[in-house]
Structure 1
Amino acid sequence: MQASKFAVCAVLILLLACGAHVSESVTCNPTELSPCMSAISSGSPPSPLCCSKIKEQQPCFCQYLKNPNLNKYVNSPNAKKIASTCGVSPPKC
């Protein structure tokens, strides 16, 4: 169960990060998206903290999409819905 939550967070990160370049101040860490786990797994609305983390990790999404363990979560319908709700464009890697 914990592995699937981590994967869901990673998917969100991938979706958001693909649209931006990685900046030097961002540390790419899919666990930073843990505040989004419940929204990704249940489809519930994201919390303000979740949106903040998604925006913070957005530069990392392309990196996360390249990871086969994270890709399926980042491309999930719930992850895309959360990104849209948080005002983050889908990644263009």
Structure 2
Amino acid sequence: MVKVMWGSSLALAVALLLVTVANIPVAEGVTCSPTELASCSPAFMSASPPSATCCAKLREQKPCLCGYLRNPTLSQYVNSPNAKKVASSCNVATPKC
């Protein structure tokens, strides 16, 4: 019961975070918006493999990852073990910022 409540609370926190964080501008025509990674939420929250949509969005948002890492609100999610597993599964290298 506690695991279900914790997982639900974490999912709600991530959803709220994704909705409330402002876009981070980046060159090369990419609009950096963490909401673009919403399709990755199931994989970020569990050990489930990322969907093809998640991987496509993660590759699209790759130029934005350093900005997300510098953002104190987002860095804890980008640096999480599950986020690193998702990135690895999608063949997206962790950026060296």
TM-score tier by shorter-chain length is 0.7 to 0.9
RMSD across aligned positions (CA): 1.7
2:38 aligns with 34
Q: How many residues align?
A: 80
Superposed displacement of residue 6, structure 1: 5.5
For CA contacts below 8 A with separation 6 or more, give which structure has more relative contact order: 1
2:74 aligns with 70
- Mapped to 2, the partners of 1:86 and 1:6 lie a distance apart of 24
1:4 aligns with 14
Pairs within 5 Å for 1:9-20: none
Unaligned runs of 5+ in 2: 1-8, 19-25
Superposed displacement of residue 24, structure 1: 2.0
1:46 aligns with 50
- Mapped to 2, the partners of 1:27 and 1:89 lie a distance apart of 19
TM-score of the aligned structures, taking structure 1 as reference length: 0.78
Unaligned runs of 5+ in 1: 9-21
Superposed displacement of residue 7, structure 1: 4.9
Which protein is richer in strand relative to its size? 2
Q: Give the share of equivalent positions with the same residue, in percent.
A: 57
SS in 2 for 1:24: coil
Deviations along 1:25-74, one digit per CA (max 9) or x if unpaired, are 21000000000001000121000000000000000000001111100110
TM-score of the aligned structures, taking structure 2 as reference length: 0.75
Name the larger-Rg structure: 2
